[in-house]
Amino acid sequence: MKRPVYIAFLLCLCVLCARAETIVLRTGARVKGTVVLMNDDVVIVRNAEGARFQYPRADVQEVIKDEVPEEQETEAKVEEVEIKTRKKVTVVLELSGGAAVNPNEAAGGAVGADLIVGNHHIGNRHILIGGGLGYHGLFIGGKVYNFLPIQVALRVPFMEAKHAPFFGASLGYGVALSKDYLGGIYAGIDFGYRYQISPKTALAVVAFAQFQQAKINTTVSVEGVEFVNKVGRNFLTPGVKVALYF
């Protein structure tokens, strides 16, 4: 009775040993072996010689499981298994600086800080969709205009790689932080380069242009009587910002 059980155990062991996997990296490279550990941060692979290799989870595109030995792979049906990235919250902190332009006043400067929260993994792509708040200060003609932009943000890479250029867009409403003027529509366009520091953090350098509507109080004197009117103004802010993903 023991011999059949022993033979069955050996057959199961041979089947398990025959299973192999192909790890496809985002660079296009393929690694043959067996996945020892795979989580949100790292993928560890053991090859046929027993050597182990470690790859950041963000660098692994997919895993192809082979149900037959490598020499019979051309005759077997290979099942592709997509690695489903668990959706996690990504936070982006952006610090910006540049010029502030208003056709009705002299040009000035601008500073800003935005905090965006969203999902940075749509399928297998590093697409960020989220929303956030910020602070933008515009210094024009000796005056200071402060806005709190409430926005929806989108960041799309031009290619799927560890380090890649990307395009971004933001749309929302800039709330005025003073009773002397009113806020309005806010919009922004970004072109930047994102550098992956680790599976969870990245740094980006971005060139941007932002548009902010507002209504400014103006005083008009008619026959010695002063009247206060709100006049529409459009602010354009081109500049550079640094973004930290974590």
- Give the domains, in start order, of the chain with CATH numbers: 2-81 (2.30.30.100), 89-245 (2.40.160.20)
Name the amino acid, one letter, at 150.
I
User: 141 in the Ramachandran plot: left (φ > 0), alpha (ψ -120 to 50) or beta?
Assistant: left
Length of the chain counted residue by residue: 246
**The pLDDT value given to residue 102:** 86
User: Could you tell me the CA-to-CA distances from 139 to 95, 99, 199, 212, 236 in Å, in that order?
Assistant: 17, 9, 38, 13, 12
Write down the pTM of the prediction: 0.63
Query: How far is residue 25's CA from residue 30's CA, in Å, rounded to a whole number?
Result: 6
Bridge partners of 177, per DSSP, are none
Long-range contacts of 82-86 (CB under 8 A, 24+ apart): 82/124, 83/38, 83/124, 85/40, 85/57, 85/121, 85/124, 86/40
Q: What percent of the chain has pLDDT over 90?
A: 43
**The pLDDT value given to residue 221:** 65
User: Could you tell me the CA-to-CA distances from 159 to 26, 84, 128, 167 in Å, in that order?
Assistant: 10, 19, 14, 11
Pick the range with the lowest mean pLDDT from 39-48, 128-137, 184-193.
39-48
pLDDT tens string 199-245: 788 999 999 999 999 998 776 666 666 666 778 889 999 999 999 99
Secondary element (H or E) of residue 4 = helix 2-18
Is the four-CA dihedral 225, 226, 232, 237 of positive or negative sign? positive
**The pLDDT value given to residue 10:** 42
Banded pLDDT at 95 (limits 50, 70, 90): very high
User: 223 in the Ramachandran plot: left (φ > 0), alpha (ψ -120 to 50) or beta?
Assistant: left
Query: How far is residue 35's CA from residue 57's CA, in Å, rounded to a whole number?
Result: 12
Instruction: Answer whether residue 14 shows pLDDT above 50.
Output: no
Mean per-residue pLDDT of the chain: 81
Instruction: Answer whether residue 81 shows pLDDT above 70.
Output: no
**The pLDDT value given to residue 104:** 77
Neighbours of 89 (CB within 10 A): 9
User: Could you tell me the CA-to-CA distances from 31 to 61, 122, 213 in Å, in that order?
Assistant: 12, 25, 53
Write the DSSP symbol of residue 76.
Answer: S
